Every structure is written in C-alpha cells, then in structure tokens.
Structure 1
Amino acid sequence: MNLLNMTFRNVQRNFRVYTIYLFAMITGVMVHFTFSSLMYNQDILDVLNNKESFQTGVSIASVVIFLFIIFFILYANSFFMKQRKKEFGLYLLLGMKESQITRMVFVENLLIGSFSLVLGILLGGLLSKFFGMALMNLMQYDNVITLNFPYQAIGSTIILFLLLAIIASIQSFFMISRVQLVELFHAKEKMEKPIPSSFIMAALSLMLLATEFFLISRGKESSIWQDHLTFAMIAVTVGMIGGTYLFFRQFSGWLLQKIRQKHNFHEGNRVLWISSLRFQIRSNTLNLTFISLFSATIIFLIGFVSINYAVQFEAVGRNLPNDIAFQSLDKETNEKIDAKIKNSDHSIEYHKTLEALVGKPNTNMDLAFENPEYFSKDVFLFPEKAYNEIISLRGKQEEIHLEDMEAVTLSQGTDYPKPFPSDQLPRFKVNVNEDITLKLIEKKDYALLGWASDPVQSMILKPAVLIISDEAYQNLKSKAKTVHFEIYEIENEKQAESLSTDIHAIVTKKPDTYYSSFADVYSKQIEGSALMLFAAAFLAVIALFALASVLYFKQLREATEEQRQYSILRKIGTADRELKSVIRKQLLFVFFPPLVLGILHSWLILKYYILDSVQDFPQLTSMLWFIFAIYFVIYVLFYLSSANLYYKIANQKY
C-alpha cells in the first residue's frame, strides 16, 4: 500500500477528526480571500476618494488577520495530530520511518489544503460581494458591488496557504519526532494532578480584581489618575493580569474544593463534573487567563472603533460646522466665489458675513484652549450678538450673555465643557493694538468657525476664537484690526468635494488665508472610520474563532482522554441524559468565566474612558450592549457545539 492509498484510508477511517481540521482550513481560506479580494475590487476602488489609504489599510489588516488564521489553523493541527498519536505509534512499530509519516501528513495537508482552497475561494467570493456591499453601506455609498474573483487575491491566497501547509507539516514532524514510542501508546491515559488551593491566594485574586475595577471606575479626571498616573497604571495592570490568573488558578480551585466539602456534594451529578474540573485546572489556567484578557482587548477594540464610527458623522459637523467658510478677500473675488456656489448643484440655504477683531495673546494659550498647538497663534474676538445669531441658524439653544470684559473661549475638542467659578475667573490678556484683560467665565466645547481644511490634507488648524460682550466689542472696534469671514450653508454638502476644490484654489491664492469646508473632511473621515470598523469587526470575528478554538479543541482532547471514565459510567448504569448534564455543567464552568471577566474588563474601560467623554451620544451605550450580546451569542454557539461533540467523543466505545 503506497502513501497516497494510506492517506485516503486514514481520511475515511478518521473522517470526524478530519472534518474538524478541514473546517478550520476552509474557514481560514474563506476569510483571507474575502478580505483580500476587497482590496482589488474595482467597483469599490472606483467609488473611494482615498484609494491609496484604503489599500494600505486593507493590506495591514490582511497581515494581522492572516496571523490569526495561522494561529487558528496551527492550533487545530496540533489537536489533529495529538488525536492520532496512537495511530502514528502503530506505524512506527510496524517499521515506518518518521520521514515517511511526515510525507504522508504532508500529502494529507496538500489534499485537505487543495479542497479547502477551492471551496474557500468560492465561498469567499460570494462573501466578498456581501461584505463589499456592507462596506459601501458603512461609507454611505449606494454603488452596486458585482461578484468578483480578483486574480491577485486568488494568487496571494494560494501562495499563503501553500506556505501554511508546509508550516503545518513541519509542526507535525516535530510533534512526531519528539515523542517516544511508549508515550504514543499511553498519550490518552495521562491525568492532571489537582492544584492545592489556598484561601489567602483566592482572596488575593478577588482583591486584585477589585482594585483594578475601583481604579478604573474613578475615571481619568480623578485625583488618583491626575496625581498618581504611573502608580494607577501599574496597579490596574497587575490587578487585571495577576487577578485574572489567580482567579482561575486559585479561586476556581478553592471554590470547587469548598463545594466538594459540602455535605450534599454526592447528591445528583455534582461529584462527577466537579471532580473532573479539579483535575483540569492546571492545564486550563493559562488558556483561560489568555482568553479573558484577549477577549477584553478584542471587545474594547470593536467597541472603540464602533463608537468612533458612530460619532464620526456628528463629530465632523462639530469640527467643521460651516459647509463653506473663508476669510473675506476683495469684493471682486468674494462675488466670484458667490457666483460659483450659486451656479453649482448646491443651492445656498443662508450666507452670513461675520466681523471679528484680531488680537495676539499675552497669556499662555493653555489657560483658554486645550491642546493649543492645534489652534492659530492669533486670536479672533467675536461679539456675542454674532455668535448667538449663528447658533440660532444652526438650531442650537446655547445663547450666551456677557457683561463688561467677560469672555467665553471656544475650545472645540475639549472632553468636558468647563465653567469657571465666579470667584476664580481666569484672566486672559490680549493685545488688540492695546492690552486688554478678559475674564474667562467658561471654556466651551464648540466651534464657531471650525478647522481650517484642505481638499488633500483634510484638517489643518483651528482658529482660536473668543466671544466677548457686545459692549466691549464696540469699545475696541475703532482701535483694533478687523477681519471678515464669509459663512455659507448649502444643500448636499456631503457631495460638495468638487465645489470645495474650486473655491479652495481661489481663496488660497492669498497665502495663509483661512478656508474651511465640511466636504473636505467628511469623505475622508467616513471612509477611514468605516474601513477601521470593517477591519476591526473582521479581526474580532477571527480572533473570537481563534480564542474559542483554544477552548474548543482543548475540551475535545480532554473528552478523548476521558473516554475510559465515561465508558465505566455507562457500564454502571448512568443514563445518557445524566452524562449530557455532567458535560454541559463542566464546560459551562470552563467557557463562561473568561467571557464574563473579558466583558467586565472591557466595559469598565469603555464606560469610564470613552463613553463618559462623549456624553452627548446616549445611543452609544445601547450599541455597546448590542456588541456584547453578539459576542455572547457566538460564545454560546461554541459552547453548545463543544458540549455536543464532547458527548459524542466521550460516548464512543473505549
């Protein structure tokens, strides 16, 4: 019998085990091809305004996703090989060389890989159309995406998975060569020893986790984080990693030991699943710790990019509240720009001209503006009347009323609006051909003019704006330098890139002239955040499959090792229903603690460091709970699938 015939016989005899490995391979090919084909899909590239950034972003994401696929498939291959150790031991006993077994495994990998490539690429092509439409929807484009199989994506997928077949074969060779013949025959009879648990260490795990939760819940504005940043970060890191590790290593063992010591321990099937778990803690500790922490990272990532995408639509409007705004030039140029807008496809909803005083700050800009490096060096002083008129046109109810030398600073981008106590008003000195001292009553997270923009560079710099009382403005106007700004609100501003490019070219003929356009930033921000969300969602799904597979294959291997014990239970009359109940309870203890801890870690960080900074978006909390629900459902499906297959393996004749 040659190696090829032996390979086919192996597949027929161990079809169930091969099916698990084949599923892992097909999933890997399908996911990689789906994502790679998007990078070369001409229907998508024709729509995008930033093709180079899109392809670069997809290329980076493809590398990260492929690394997860390697992890996923190599872990599946590890399970696959350990399930066949007894078979390989028989081959060695019959005189086969390790090199012959390795060649046989390589042929198997090629056959499985070839089938996986064909089926995975076909499924991936169908999915790429669906996900391409989803990506266009995220970017708010309504273009049709055709079914596409780019030859570049097919070529890269074939090369990468041939490489993966070689790596898997090398892994298989080392697994065969490092194990002695006697160990191969007894590989399924090894038993873990229960770890001695300590109440002190169990309590320490809860203390570390409680410390982490407490520090995170204080929020970044608390004195702990403001005054003791390094200490707080170290304490949270130790609490998160150390607390999670000890939770699984010590607390779970202590809890099982306490349950075992109860007088009713032998009632029902408790003795069966708890006894089994006590022997599995040692081998599962690192896996459960890793899964908890990495789950927290993945959930945080997808939560963060989802929030970023959700707020992006309104955030662009907050950063650039005017559809078109520019510093007034000469009368002829202003009229030329006005005529260009009127003759475009974007009718004018309103046009206002605002006058401001130009001043130079004599006080440190940090007092009035957060992150002053993003603001202009000069400050622009607007009267409260002009400000109230504009915000009324925008439909806002945030009018301000000032007296004497009171002022409000528009520090758009600050995390929290900051009204100053009436008895501690900061003094901000400005030179407007004479030195004046303004009393700051509030730092507002608002923009009157918005970022200066460029069709290519997007956002450039924010004008530093102060609102002063009408009385103070009139008193200073005759002495100070004035400047005027033209503000336009137009229809279909999201599609005004072409109009903006034309006006920008006219305005910037005079260097350092302020120009701002909503359309310059909107397409770039939405395309970028949509791609980030899409890539993160893809990465999260792959990572979840990889993490769940760690538990999945680990439990299936333990099911194989426990076939003898379950055979004895069946012989003494234990019903199938009882065995299923034992398996479900045992796996529940393994699958759900890392899920709960992962969600807790990520929720705390998202709640106190992201959501609290965007309090104007109450819908974000519901969106995060929706993400948690999806993650939970996928985990439940893995749990149910694992429990079902665990029973089938354990129920086989020993």
Structure 2
Amino acid sequence: MNGMLLEVGLSNLKHDRNLYRVYFLTQLLLFSLFFVLQCFSSDQVIVDRLAEDTNIETMIQTISLFFMVAIIFYFLYFNQFFIRQRAEELGIYSILGFRCQEIVRLFLVENVILLFLAGLCSLALGYVFYLGLRTGLIKFLKLALPLWGFKIDSTAFLAMLGLFLSIVLLIYLELSLIFKKNLADILNLQQQQDKTGKLHPWLAFLGLLGIISADGLFLNLLAGANSLWLKIGYMPVLALTVALLGSGSILFILFSLPYLVNFLLNKKHILYGTSGIVVLPRMRHRLQNKGRLLTMLTLLTTGSVMLLGVTILTLFYPYEATKRIVPVALETVASQKRTLTKQQLSKLERDFDATVVQTEILRTKLNEKWYFSNQNASDHLDLISLKSYNRLMKLQQQIPLTAISAHQGVLVNYYASKQTINQQFSLKNEAEPLMVKRTTNNNPFAFANSVVTVVVNDADFNQYKTRHLADRYWIISFEGANLRDDQAFVTAFKKKTNVAYISAQERDQTITNANSPTFLMITLVSILFFVAISTVLYFTARIEELSLVKEYDTLAKLGYRIKDLRRVIFTENTWLFLPPLLLGLLNGIFGVLGISYFITDSITTGLWLRLGQPLVYTLCLFLPIYLLVYVLAGNSILKEIVSYCRVGAKRQ
C-alpha cells in the first residue's frame, strides 16, 4: 500500500507540475534564506569579528524563530489551499475505496517529497548564498579572514532538520483534523470556500479601534514627561501597545476588509467595470480564507519595516549624537603658557575657509564637590560670559540664551534633561554664592574639554575675572561648511600645530570603524527579510492565480482581450499586496517611533532623526522592491494564463 501511495503521489505532482513547480520554488527559496541565517549564527569566526560588543548570534536566532513561524504558517495555509482545490479528486479517492487515513498519508507523502527535495537543494543553494555574502563582508570590511574553508556548524543542520520535522508534523496534524470531518463536508471544501462570510460589525470596529489605539499610544511618546509611558512605565505600556497592534491588525484584516468589499460592490461604476465584475464577487466569497494569509503578510511586512527603520535609526543616531558631544568641527584648549599663534590661525582660516572663535573661560574651584550625576562629581565650574556663549551658539546655529540676572547662572546639562534646578555653588575666594535656576542642553564646548559649564552675565564674568586671573584659559573653536567631515583639515591642523585637540571627523570615523560591521550585519538580515516577504508575495500571487486558469479561460472565450485579463490579474493581486503594505507600513512606522525612545535621547533628538529619516529611507528601499515584485508577479501570471488560453483555443 505504501508503494502505491508513493506512486500515486508522484503521479499527482507530475499532473499538476505547473502549480507545484511554483510551490517548490517557494519552498526552495524560503529554506535557503533560513539556512543562510543559520550559517550566519554558526560562523563564530566572522560573528566575533563583525560585532565584538553585540550578540549577533542571539539576534539571528531570535529572527530565525520568527522566520520559522512565518514559514510554517505559509506551508499550513497552502496545504489547506491545495486540499480545497482538489475537492473533486477527494471524491474519486473515496469512490475507489480510500479511507480517510490513507488520504492523509497520500497528501503527507506528496508534501514530504516536495519538502525533502526543496530542503536538500536549499542546503546547497543556501551555502552558495552565504559564501557570496561572507565574501562580500570580508572584502568590504577588509577583514583578515580566509575566503574559503568555512565549515558549517552542526547547529545549522539541526535547525534545518527541526524546521523540516516541525512542518511535517504540523501538516500531518492539520490533515488529520481536516479529514476527521464528514465525507460530505470534505467534498464540499471548495463550495465552503466560495460561501459568503458573515459580517461582524463589532469585531470590525474593534480591529480598527485596536490599530488606532496602538498608534495613539506610540504618538503619546511625543508628550515627553507627560506621556503615559513615563507615568505608568515603558514595559506595561509597550506590552499593551503590542497586544493592541497585533490583535487590531488581525481583526482589521479578517473583519474590516469585508466591509470595504461590500462598499465597493454597491458602487455600480466600480462593480460593473472590466475587472470589478470579476474580482469583487470573488473577494466577497474568498476574503475570509485569504484573511489568515493577509494577516501573516501584514505581520511580516510590519517586522521588515521595523527592522529596516531601526537599522537606519541606529546607523545615523550616533553621528547626530556626536554633534552634542563635539559641537564644532575641531576644538583645542589654550592656556597662558601654550597657545596657537595668529599666523597659524590665519593660515587655517584661509586654507579651509574656517571660522575661528576664541572663548575665554574661568575654571573656578568649588569649596565642595558637586555631583552632576550619581557617580560623577566635579570640584570646579567653567564660567563663560553670556556674550561668548551666544557667539558660539550662532556659530553652531543653535538657539541663544536670553538675559541672565546678576549673581545667577545657567547650567549646561551634561546629561540631557528638562528638569529645573535650584543649586547654590560656593566658589573659592568668593563671598557670595552663585545661584543656578536655569539649565540648557546646548553645550558650547566638547564635553571632553568642559563638563560643568555655567553661563553668567557679562558684568559678573568681568568681576569674576579680576579675582581669578590665574584661572583663565581659552577654548579655540573651528567651524565651517563641510568642515566636520574634512579629514584634510584635521591632517593640516596636526602638521601645523603641536597641541591636543578634539575632532568631530575623527570621532565619526571611530564610530564608523566600531559600528559599521554591526550595521552591515543588521542590514543584511533586513535584506533577507525583504527577500523572504517578496518570495512569499510573488509565489503566493502566482499559486493563487494559476489555480484559476479555467476561469480566465472562460473570460477569454467571453471576449476578454489580453489588456482586460491584465487588468483583472493586477486588480486581484492588489487585494493581496495592498492591505499588508498599507497596514504593515503604518504599524512599522509607529513601531520605529516607539523603539526610537528606547535607543535615543528623547530630549535632544529631533522628530526628523527619530521618525522622518527612517521613514524616508525605508520607503525608498522598501517600496521599489515591493512594487517590482507586484509587477513581476502580474506579468508572470499573465504570460502563463495567456499561454493556457491559447492552448485551450487550439484544442477546440
């Protein structure tokens, strides 16, 4: 009996080879991508070289788990899909005397054959993919590693085996549940698919409300200190937001979209169009079955957009943060004993079109140390006049300070904060204390040169200076157009002077050297996600549409031309591509906004860096790929359907 089942299974695969060929290619690519992830996580040599401070292995394993769930869902969905398409064939098997358990084994044999072949081929294809990516990483980052000789750890093969067995087991359980039904119900699976689903207004409303509430909670982060995230706590609000976002997306896809279809069905100019009369009635019947697939694609799209958006955010944020740590292109400290000559400064100004500002500072001692954080203390203050501070703010294109009262100062926050302060500083050799009631987050100097800076009015500064002449020193700031990234300027400064300095260009270069491997690694994982979702979309569209070739053949006989068939196909694909795109982008964008508050400074980081820049880059990278897959899938389906319709015409 087992031999007969194998023979029948092979015959079925051969008979529907066009449809199963597409399904096999889907399995092959998804398995290959999964194997690439396993190769990454098991290649300990390159992982250690890529990110010494980041647990890339744990990150990839987490992504692999999510990826595995998506793959299993995909196979379970299409297993049900193929059973519905073969409802008539099931009736023939029952007439021939096949028991339900034998039919289960037959379908399982067919799945195992495809899975085994796809899994076996994916090991070779995934290995080739990974070697290409690995070679690109080594050459791009100039790592001292051999290009060849990479050995795959056994954990990668065990993960593949675990995925294979999980799919087989779940498919078997799914088949067993399906074939526990009455024979009549099994034979009517196709009719049940075409049955109009009931509308559930409350569930549709809850889905929409869940999405709006989750996005509203993300927007609440913009309230700063008054946000629920700070009042209640980040983790509880995050858990609630994720729950609302996930449940809202699922309910919206399953129960809100049918209302949109009903709305369009009542619009005669849309319903009675070339594509509307074909697609909308079909969507009304089948959207409920498509809902699970659309939900999975929405969650995949959400994850992909969030992963790419956060990658872009973490790529640009360190460079933006450097502007606060080193606010000008180059900065050096000069004292009465050691300074730069006017000739040196003039030459640098001429050669590099630089603006040079020399700022006088009074480093005054405190009678008692002041703790500006729980662990850090200072035994002095750096006093700067209001005029000098505002001149530096103009140089840095920052907001200047307003007038300061006598014997009062404005503290420059080392840690960004909007909290008020009421602090008295007792300065040595000063009878009257200095009162600080205001703070600012705009620091005039690099924190390496001045940590506790206090701005006082010009009159007070001049009085302090007469009593603290020995405490004077100068900070020389260099700024100019494109000077922050000018390595030639830093090189010339080192050659022409012999003083210590702080350079924005060198700090940015340090960040690049330290973090670019991690950024590149995360970007590659993001690309793998995009390839995965594109694969699912492309082959899902082809499998679903190619199962309807007889209906398209009927349309051709009714007088539909090629351009009419194209319109129908692309309209049908729009219902597959558009809901996950719009909902996934919406959820992903708000998700990036929420995550940004965990990884960036919420006070000094602007909305453009937090959301605008990740959004623009994500759309520029994601939308072209998404639209390209949409067009390629439509053209591929059209080509095969036109070919089928012409063959059918020849037979007649």
- TM-score, normalised to structure 2, is 0.68
* Closer/same/farther in 2, CA of residues 84 and 312 from structure 1, 3 Å limit: same
Distance in 1 between residues matched to 2:316 and 2:516, nearest whole Å: 10
Q: Is residue 416 of structure 2 the alignment partner of residue 430 of structure 1?
A: no
User: How many residues get paired?
Assistant: 587
Q: Supply the distance in 2 between the matched residues of 1:153 and 1:390 (Cα, whole angstroms).
A: 60
1:309 aligns to what? 315
Q: Does 1:594 align with 2:580?
A: yes
Output one character per residue of 1:540-590: Cα deviation in whole Å (capped at 9) or x when no partner. Answer: 334445556666666556546655655554555544543432232132133
Maintained 8 Å contact 1:320/1:518: yes
TM-aligned CA distance change 1:524 to 1:62, over 3 Å: farther
The change in CA–CA distance for 1:486 and 1:163 in structure 2 (over 3 A counts) is: farther
Q: What is the deviation of 1:430?
A: 1.5
Tell me which residue corresponds to 2:227. 225
1:163 positional shift: 3.4
Correspondent of 2:445 among 421, 425, 448: 448
Letter of the 1:624 counterpart? L
Give the match for residue 526 of structure 2. 540
CA pair 35-637 structure 1, distance change in 2 beyond 3 A: farther
Q: What are structure 2's unaligned runs of at least 5 residues?
A: 338-355, 479-485, 495-500
Q: Deviations over 1:44-89 (max 9, x none)?
A: 967x7xx632xx5321232133224423543454356446645899
Task: State the SS of the aligned residue for 2:159.
Answer: helix
* Cα separation, partners in 2 of 1:169 and 1:145, compared to 1, 3 Å: farther
Determine helix, strand or coil for the equivalent of 2:443. coil
* Matched AA of 1:598: G
* Aligned residue type for 1:148: L
- Aligned runs of 1:557-636 on 2, under 5 Å? 558-559=544-545, 562=548, 565-566=551-552, 568-570=554-556, 572-603=558-589, 614-615=605-606, 621=612, 624-636=615-627
Distance of 1:271 and 1:97 partners within structure 2: 37
The structure-2 alpha-carbon separation of the partners of 1:43 and 1:123, relative to structure 1 and needing over 3 Å to count, comes to: closer
2:616 is paired with a residue whose SS is: helix
Counterpart amino acid of residue 68 in structure 2: I
Distance 1:227 1:74 in 2: 35
CA distance in structure 1 between the aligned counterparts of 2:296 and 2:82, rounded to whole angstroms: 27
Q: Which amino acid aligns with 2:520?
A: F
CA distance 1:84–1:129, shift in 2 (3 Å): same
Which one-letter code corresponds to 2:52 in the other structure? Answer: E
Amino acid at match of 1:57: N
Give the equivalent residue in structure 2 for 1:404: 406
Q: Partner amino acid for 2:161?
A: L
- Whole-Å Cα distance in 1 between the matches of residues 489 and 72 of structure 2? 46
Q: Deviations over 1:167-187 (max 9, x none)?
A: 333334334444429476655
Q: Secondary structure of 2:223's match?
A: coil
Asked if the contact 1:71/1:546 (under 8 Å) is kept, the reply is no
Pairing partner for 1:59 from 57, 67, 91: 57
Asked if the contact 2:570/2:634 (under 8 Å) is kept, the reply is yes
Once the two structures are superposed, residues 221-271 of structure 1 have per-residue CA deviations (whole angstroms, 9 ceiling, x without a partner) of 368626995599599768755654554344432232233234444354422
The alpha-carbon deviation at position 427 of structure 1 amounts to 4.3
Once the two structures are TM-superposed, the CA of residue 536 in structure 1 deviates from its matched residue by 3.6
Report the secondary structure of 2:68's partner residue.
helix
SS, match of residue 28 in structure 2: helix
With structure 1 as the length reference, what TM-score do the two structures score?
0.68
Distance change >3 Å, CA 325–CA 35, structure 1 → 2: farther
The one of 276, 294, 298 equivalent to 1:270 is 276
Label 1:519 to 1:72 Cα distance change in 2 as closer, same or farther (>3 A): same
Q: 1:263 to 1:41 in 2, by over 3 A?
A: closer
The amino acid of 1:589's aligned partner reads W
2:126 aligned partner: 120
**Cα distance in structure 2, aligned partners of 1:640 and 1:302:** 23
Structure 1 segment 273-422 matched on structure 2, within 5 A:
273-289=279-295, 291-292=297-298, 295-316=301-322, 318-320=324-326, 355-359=362-366, 372-373=373-374, 376=377, 380-384=381-385, 391=392, 404-414=406-416
TM-fit CA distance, 1:408: 2.4
Residues 203 and 251, structure 2, Cα contact 8 Å, conserved in 1: yes
Q: Secondary structure at the match of 1:221?
A: helix
Q: How does 1:479-498 map to 2 (within 5 A)?
A: none
On the 8 A contact 2:38/2:156 being kept in 1, the answer is: no
Q: Hey, what's the Cα distance between the residues in 2 that align with 1:388 and 1:310? A: 28
Tell me the amino acid that sits aligned with residue 58 of structure 1.
I
Indicate how the Cα distance of structure 1 residues 191 and 571 shifts in structure 2: closer, same or farther if over 3 A, else same. Answer: farther
Q: Percent same amino acid among aligned pairs?
A: 14
Report the CA distance between 1:637 and its aligned residue. 3.2
With over 3 angstroms needed to count, the CA separation of the structure-2 counterparts of 1:255 and 1:74, relative to structure 1, is closer
